[in-house]
Structure 1
Amino acid sequence: MHERTGRDWDHGVRHSRNSRFYPDGRRVDYTTGRTTMESMSSPPPAVAEQVGTRLLSLLEREKIADLRRAGLSLRAIGRELGRPASTVMRELAAHARADGLYLPHLAHRSAAADRARPKPAKLAQPGPLRDYVRDRLEEQWSPEQISGVLARDHQGDESMQVSTETIYQAIYVQARGGLKREIAQALRSGRTRRKPRRTPEQRTNRFIDPMVMISERPAEVEDRAVPGHWEGDLILGTANQSAIVTLVERSTRYVMLGHLPGGVHTAETVRDVLVDLIGTLPEHLRGSLTWDQGAEMARHKAIRIATGIPVYFCDPASPWQRGSNENTNGLLRQYFPKGTDLSIHGPADLEHVAQKLNGRPRKTLGWDTPAERLLELV
């Protein structure tokens, strides 16, 4: 087409029956040369408004069409747009015609229509799908089971398929107007409302005093080159009613066990035991202490002040960040089996077990014992 025609289109100027129509309503008649104010009887469809930078703009779609016509690959087009090649691939798959021709303006309007909101909820409308879901819920099927059976039995019939999440939303969110609230009682959880789940960033602080996380621990601790860095935890007895404090030095694997009177493992008793244990160490072996986020460490600030040893906390559900301690706790179960009352073991019993472990040669220490390695440091 002529360059002037393309420029007119770009500025919203349209041609019809020897006349030019401008966006401001002016009509210029080529035959008479007169200019009047009027509009076209059937104006072209408006260009969809761009929503944010995440979605493709009309200019980007025009560029895709031009570069594709020039024979560039998807990756090359993506580089020109500053977008992943997968974005270009999905755009062409969704909006190219059956013959493969990609028309950018048509694609832009189609994409805008696809994101139109609000859309009616699938289970808000009466019909066989809603009846089927309601009946299966009353039979105490789970939403996942209902969704799975529908997908199996009605392949290719989109009107008889629904996702698990859509069923849950129809039950829990009244604004969806889907299934009756009483049906929620058929769910195995028995809940009538959703239980919110929080991301790690949204969780409230575990303790009143701010924790120093393991990510802030000095790099020298990680490679075990510098002695004096400890990992700690509790091993628990029957019904978590009794416990023993365990400390392991990372470079020598030396073990120290702390007796909790009566097996009580409150934050205060654990604080007192740790202060006593760490107090027996020379200053150069008080490098750091790494623990998990158990409630027994609520007095971690008091431990740091009393002993001068910084306390670092592992990430939630990350026991591997205290690997030496986890391994040692497994060895200790030979002497303190799971499901037994640990309060029956006194300080002398714990000292005896610690000596046994510290007297065992370790492959990781070149068959030295932890006691021998620690003796060299002391």
Structure 2
Amino acid sequence: MGRPAGWMKALTGRAPMKSPGAPSLRREIEHAFWREIAKGLTSEEAAVAVGASSAAGSWWFRERGGMPTFMVSPRTGRYLSFAEREEIALLKAEGAGVRRIARQLGRAPSTISRELRRNAATRGGKLEYRASVAQWKAELLALRPKTARLVTNERLREYVQQRLSGQVRHSDGTVVPGPVAAQWKGRNKPRRQDRRWTQAWSPEQIANRLKLDFPEDETMRISHEAIYQALYVQSRGALKRELVACLRTGRALRVPRARSRKRATGHVTPEVMISQRPAEAEDRAVPGHWEGDLIIGTDRSAIGTLVERTTRFTLLLHLPRMDGYGIQPRVHNGPALAGRGAEAVKDAIAATITALPEQLRRSLTWDRGTELAQHTRLRIDTGVAVYFADPHSPWQRGTNENTNGLLRQYFPKGTDLSRWTAEEIDAVATTLNGRPRKTLGWKTPAEALNELLSQPTTSGVATTG
């Protein structure tokens, strides 16, 4: 027999809704999820914090490209909340009438009546009110998808795509093909491989250039944020996702601002900042002040570098793999088996620098990497004061940065640095210390250091010769 046509509309007072299956997690949970993301949490941590599964958090984050596409601020009381719908369901199960429910919730009776009719479950042809189903239906009806401007305005879309992915050309207009790039796989920030050469304008450059190229045409306007959403959010459908490879970073997902600022620099306290370093280290008049860093290779390999500021004398730290690397599973808060952890770096620096005369062990300035998190212990063991440079200020360790550039001739980026023995690394340091330097009057760092050690104030100290 079947049901007559239009039975659901007559029963509920609204158009039929096609069920997509089991109700998903409530939208307010996703709102709370994005508020946690804005605090700097990972997608898994944010999901657990709001009571969802880590898989749901990962899906939300990837589906929206790492950026919320709706307001994350709490909703106003204009609409019924899930808590109110739960209260309605409980009172309805007790047999309470519409007006009693309305009085208890402080709502109009018409609001409760409409809620019980429009958002109730209709399985079996009868209205059964359940809070979870009602919330799910209310959120589906509340959706007001707005077509993206880049979808409806083909001229604007072509302009944006051309500035993002357009070809590189010579001044005479001929195309420069550039390298053959690998196919985009949706992975984050491609490294150690060729990237396709494009015009690669940033969304902000495109958005502002439109005002100059089309000063009278208001249809040729778009914000840079809308371009980012068109790139990162799959459901927008305006621009192809692989165009994110044309951005400078090449990120497949956008990184929330709070997360990008969240760095493990708790070991850097005000008393060990470079501003507290003695003034004698700045003018290079007194030897014994060092700058240090790691040069990084593939598979988490590294070599430590120490450079004396006055003489430019270089010492290299051998950081071999620890037993079990690549075999034992990683242990949370355990030792870094790759050989570049805080314990290994501290021991390597202590073994190297304590072999120097005492007057050459005054201070060490490092970047803010966690590999020197045990600087307090290093100071106790060696007597060397440790200081850290300011964030994003490599010029404060300019001597070390320059030396690292010279070392890349022997230890190029993208190579495994763990294959070199301590003897081979020492040979490179000896070679570097035997190169004449313009800043030293064409003396070598080894000669400059021997000259300092042979002065009367340091008589009786063995030279490095």
* 1:344-366 deviation per Cα after TM superposition (whole angstroms, max 9, x unaligned): 22222222222222233322112
Deviations 1:42-92 (A, max 9, x none): xxxxxxxxxxxxxxxxxxxxxxxxxxxxxxxxxxxxxxxxxxxxxxxxxxx
- 1:230 equivalent to 2:277? Answer no
- Equivalent residues of 2:343, 2:374 under 8 A apart: yes
2:368 matched to 1:271? no
Larger strand percent: 1
Percent of paired sites with the same residue: 51
For 1:150 and 1:338, the matched residues in 2 are separated by 39
> What is the deviation of 1:247?
0.6
Q: Where does structure 1 lack aligned partners over 5 or more consecutive residues?
A: 1-123, 173-179
Report the equivalent of 1:104.
none
Partners of 1:341 and 1:193 in 2: how far apart? 28
Matches of 1:270 and 1:227 in 2, distance apart?
23
Residue of 309, 316, 324 corresponding to 2:391 = 316
Root-mean-square deviation (Å): 4.0
Q: 1:324 to 1:153 in 2, by over 3 A?
A: closer
Task: State whether residues 148 and 236 of structure 2, in contact with CA within 8 Å, keep that contact through their aligned partners in structure 1.
Answer: no
1:287 lines up with 2:395 in the alignment: no
- d(CA) in 1 for partners of 2:411, 2:369: 20
Query: How far 1:230 moved relative to its partner?
Result: 0.3
Amino acid at match of 2:269: P
Between the aligned partners of 2:420 and 2:444, the Cα distance in structure 1 is 25
Structure 1 match to 2:302:
243
Alignment of 1:206 onto 2:265: yes
State the 1:216 CA deviation.
2.7
Residues 1:215 and 2:232 are matched in the alignment: no
Once the two structures are superposed, what CA deviation does each residue of 1:172-200 show, in whole Å capped at 9, x if it has no partner? 9xxxxxxx994278574699997432599
Q: Which residue does 1:77 correspond to in 2?
A: none
Partner of residue 261, structure 1: 320
For 1:146 and 1:368, how far apart are their aligned partners in 2? 52
Asked whether the 8 Å contact 2:299–2:416 carries over to 1, the reply is no
Counterpart check, 1:356 vs 2:409: no
Deviates more, 1:365-374 or 1:219-228: 365-374
Distance 1:300 1:240, change over 3 A: farther
- The answer to whether the 8 A contact 2:364-2:387 is kept is yes
Within the candidate set 401, 404, 420, 1:329 is matched to 404
- Whether the 8 Å CA contact 2:267–2:370 is kept in 1: the answer is no
CA distance in 1, matches of 2:407, 2:388: 22
Tell me whether 1:196 sits opposite 2:213 in the alignment. Answer: no
Q: Which amino acid aligns with 1:217?
A: R
Give deviations 1:103-135, integer Å, cap 9, x for gaps: xxxxxxxxxxxxxxxxxxxxx999xxx774443
Q: State the alpha-carbon separation in 2 of the partners of residues 244 and 339 from structure 1.
A: 13
Correspondence for 1:155: 215
Task: Report the 3-state secondary structure (helix = DSSP H, G, I; strand = E; otherwise coil) of the residue aligned with 1:271.
Answer: helix
Q: Figure out how many residues of one structure are paired with residues of the other and give that number.
A: 242
TM-score by length of 2: 0.44
Give, in angstroms, the shift of residue 367 of structure 1.
2.5
Distance 1:146 1:374 in 2: 54
> Does the 8 Å CA contact 1:209/1:301 hold for their aligned counterparts?
no
Counterpart of 1:183 in structure 2 is 236
Bigger Rg, which one: 1
Contact persistence 1:254–1:374 (CA under 8 A): yes
Measured in 2, the distance between the counterparts of 1:343 and 1:169 equals 40
| Partner in structure 2 of residue 108 of structure 1 | none
User: Alignment partner of 1:289: what SS?
Assistant: strand
Segments of structure 2 that go 5 or more residues without pairing to the other structure are 1-143, 162-202, 246-250, 322-337, 454-460
Q: What is the distance in 2 between the residues matched to 1:323 and 1:367?
A: 19
Q: State how 1:54-69 maps to structure 2 within 5 Å.
A: none
* 1:186–1:163 distance in 2 versus 1, CA, 3 Å: closer
Q: What CA distance in whole angstroms lies between the structure 1 residues aligned with 2:253 and 2:409?
A: 46
What TM-score does the superposition give when structure 1 sets the normalisation length? 0.53
- Distance in structure 2 (CA, Å) of the matches to 1:308 and 1:258: 19
Q: Describe the SS at the equivalent of 1:258.
A: strand
Greater length-normalized contact order (CA 8 Å, ≥ 6 residues apart): 2
Contact 1:184 1:192 (C-alpha < 8 Å) held by counterparts: no
